[in-house]
Amino acid sequence: MKHLRRFNESLKEELQDFCETYLAYLIDEDFKIRISKFEGDDFHQIIIGTSEPRNFLWSQVKDQVLPFLHFLFKNYELYYDNDVEPAMGIVSYGRRGFHGSSGIAQTALTLNQINDLPDDTEIATLFIRVIKKEEKVEKGWFRNF
């Protein structure tokens, strides 16, 4: 277990370095890049957003995100969990609701859809769930419930 933890941490660090290199311009513009992996998950999740709970426009990030995805998918691939959770998508904050609370919407995206997103699409966070290409995980029967 000790060696597995070191491997997972090194993969997380590898992804963090990769993201910081390819998304340096966004980081300079106060965007936040976070890599997360929860115990029991087979994937790492890349989260791109701001430090404030607010939306930004796709046009603000697309010139950095699209080339980033091109290079990311040379060594990693999207992680599909039997269609339980989307492999990639956006979360956005809605307008104030009836009781003053704002809604939060999650939209799944495919690679084709992200290429065709309108510039005025509002995004709070962009998430990408990936695994390293040579480490494709076969799901056990117990994970299919």
The percent helix, strand, coil of the chain (3-state, each to 5) is: 40, 30, 30
Whole-number pLDDT of residue 97: 41
Residue closest to 57 by CA, chosen among 140, 119, 104: 119
How much is the pTM? 0.80
- Mean pLDDT calculated for residue range 5-31: 86
Distance CA 6, CA 103 (A): 38
Distance CA 42, CA 63 (A): 29
Whole-number pLDDT of residue 8: 52
Residue closest to 127 by CA, chosen among 32, 25, 30, 57: 32
Domain boundaries, the chain: 2-134
Residues 47-81: tens digit of each pLDDT: 999 988 889 999 999 999 999 999 999 999 999 87
Place 41 in a pLDDT band, splitting at 50, 70 and 90. Answer: confident
Place 125 in a pLDDT band, splitting at 50, 70 and 90. Answer: very high
Residues 90-115: tens digit of each pLDDT: 999 875 444 445 678 889 999 899 99
Q: How far is CA 38 from the centre of its chain?
A: 14
Whole-number pLDDT of residue 1: 45
Q: How far is CA 123 from CA 14, 39, 43, 85, 127, in A?
A: 26, 27, 22, 18, 10
Average per-residue pLDDT for the chain? 83
Cβ neighbours, 10 Å, residue 42: 15
